[in-house]
């Protein structure tokens, strides 16, 4: 009875090849056993010896041979084949491991993905197509299984990158006594219907985008801050250091053409000065000057206007030339004179014409 109690592993690779393995070091220590098989039924069986052995430390631990029928009988014997150590009959169709899915396609429609593959030539009703997927934020695979050979799933976020893999599974117990599945098809990476080389590409592109946007935002923020500081600095500068008017821009020809010689400039611009009045005298002085002009209209109408400089105290002077132009008298210790008038000034003042 012990001949039927040995555990062996049986795999039928898509009904094309059979692989039988056993634990030779535990079951048959220090003995190199031989293997025989047959697909014949009935009493007259023709046994075939294994031609392709699988080895474990130079001992036979399995056999690989071609699948030739649905019913299989195997026999493990001693090294010369004279004594049978183990035998078993089985249905080879109950140990089928399917091949990988072929021609896998992905169809995207909004948040729904449909995966399909080619339909196998035999026993497609015994197969199920399994889809597994996960995003870069998931630790575990999520699985969805459907009839061969199409499976769909919805709820995918177009902003995430997903990894997909598919395989075929054999139904248990209706078609197989062992839950065998095919190897996984090559893993693919998708994002919003676009296939990528890997989800690392998506992470890299997003990181680069974030870096560029951050740098651009930082530059704009610095420019805005500098603009605010510049405006405030101009206001502070105007408040603390007000601009002092420069007379050379008002009388450019005085300084450019006459090198600041006021008498020469007055002689040359006699008609201009006579028409230009700068009102710096007090209201009383202006009123008195106007009265004098009104009194002199009848007596001296033909006398030409002359260059007159009037000060705040000019009301006591009877000279008619003192009513045309008035200047304020600054407090100073330095005396300056022109056209017969004496003007006191200091280093902090200047005369406006």
Of 118, 151, 145, 142, which is closest to residue 130 (Cα–Cα)?
145
Of 51, 56, 61, 158, which is closest to residue 113 (Cα–Cα)?
158
- Specify burial of residue 309 (Cβ count, 10 A radius: 0-12, 13-18, 19+): buried
- In whole angstroms, how far apart are CA 307 and each of 136, 209, 345? 94, 77, 21
pLDDT at residue 339 tops 70: no
User: Which pair of structure tokens corresponds to residue 99?
Assistant: 């091949």
Q: What is the pLDDT of residues 279-320, one digit of tens each?
A: 444 444 444 445 555 555 444 444 443 433 343 443 444 444
Domains in the chain with CATH codes: 8-97 (2.60.40.10), 105-196 (2.60.40.10)
pLDDT at residue 132 tops 80: yes
pTM for the full model? 0.54
- In whole angstroms, how far apart are CA 119 and each of 46, 131, 150? 35, 16, 9
pLDDT band at 17 (very low <50, low <70, confident <90, very high): very high
Asked if residue 290 lies in contact with residue 311, where contact means CB atoms within 8 angstroms, the answer is no
d(CA 305, CA 295): 15
pLDDT at residue 328 tops 70: no
Query: What phi and psi values does residue 214 have, to the nearest 5 degrees?
Result: -65, -45
d(CA 321, CA 303): 11
Cα Rg for the chain, rounded, in angstroms? 57
pLDDT band at 128 (very low <50, low <70, confident <90, very high): very high
Q: What is the pLDDT of residues 141-187, one digit of tens each?
A: 999 999 988 998 888 888 889 999 999 999 988 899 999 999 999 89
pLDDT band at 200 (very low <50, low <70, confident <90, very high): confident
The stretch 26-45 carries a mean pLDDT of 86
d(CA 48, CA 135): 51
- Specify burial of residue 276 (Cβ count, 10 A radius: 0-12, 13-18, 19+): exposed
C-alpha angle 168-173-179 in degrees, rounded to nearest 5: 45
pLDDT at residue 54 tops 80: yes
- In whole angstroms, how far apart are CA 251 and each of 34, 266, 272, 348? 125, 12, 12, 19
- In whole angstroms, how far apart are CA 38 and each of 45, 50, 352? 7, 10, 130
User: Which pair of structure tokens corresponds to residue 300?
Assistant: 């001296």
Q: What is the pLDDT of residues 233-265, one digit of tens each?
A: 767 666 766 666 665 555 666 667 767 777 777
């Amino acid at each position: 009875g012990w001949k039927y109690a040995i555990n062996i592993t049986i795999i039928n690779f898509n009904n094309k090849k059979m692989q039988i393995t056993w634990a030779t070091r535990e079951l048959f220590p220090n003995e190199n056993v031989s293997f025989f098989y047959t697909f014949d039924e009935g009493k007259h069986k023709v046994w075939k010896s294994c031609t392709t052995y699988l080895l474990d430390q130079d001992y036979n631990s399995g056999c690989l041979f071609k699948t030739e029928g649905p019913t299989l009988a195997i026999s493990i014997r001693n090294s010369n084949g004279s004594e049978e150590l183990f035998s078993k009959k089985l249905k080879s169709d109950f140990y089928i491991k399917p091949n990988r899915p072929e021609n896998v396609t992905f169809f995207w429609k909004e948040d729904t993905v449909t995966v399909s593959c080619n339909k196998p030539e035999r026993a497609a009703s015994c197969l199920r197509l399994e889809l597994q997927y996960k995003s870069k934020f998931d630790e575990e695979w999520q699985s969805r299984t459907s009839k061969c050979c199409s499976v769909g799933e919805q709820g995918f976020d177009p902003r995430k990158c997903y990894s997909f893999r598919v395989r075929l599974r054999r139904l248990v117990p209706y078609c197989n006594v062992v839950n065998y599945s095919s190897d996984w098809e090559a893993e693919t990476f998708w994002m919003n219907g676009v296939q990528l080389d890997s989800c690392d590409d998506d992470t890299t592109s997003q990181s680069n985008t974030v870096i560029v946007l951050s740098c651009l935002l930082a530059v704009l923020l610095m420019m805005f801050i500098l603009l605010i500081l510049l405006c405030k600095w101009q206001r502070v500068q105007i408040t603390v250091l007000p601009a002092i008017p420069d007379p050379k821009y008002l009388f450019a020809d005085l300084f450019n053409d006459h090198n600041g010689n006021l008498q020469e400039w007055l002689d040359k611009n006699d008609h201009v000065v006579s028409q230009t009045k700068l009102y710096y005298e007090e209201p009383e002085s202006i009123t008195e000057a106007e009265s004098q002009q009104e009194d002199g209209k009848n007596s001296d109408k033909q006398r030409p206007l002359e260059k007159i400089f009037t000060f705040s105290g000019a009301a006591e002077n009877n000279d008619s030339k003192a009513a045309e132009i008035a200047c304020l008298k600054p407090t100073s210790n330095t005396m300056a004179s022109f056209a017969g008038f004496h003007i006191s000034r200091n280093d902090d003042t200047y005369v406006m014409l």
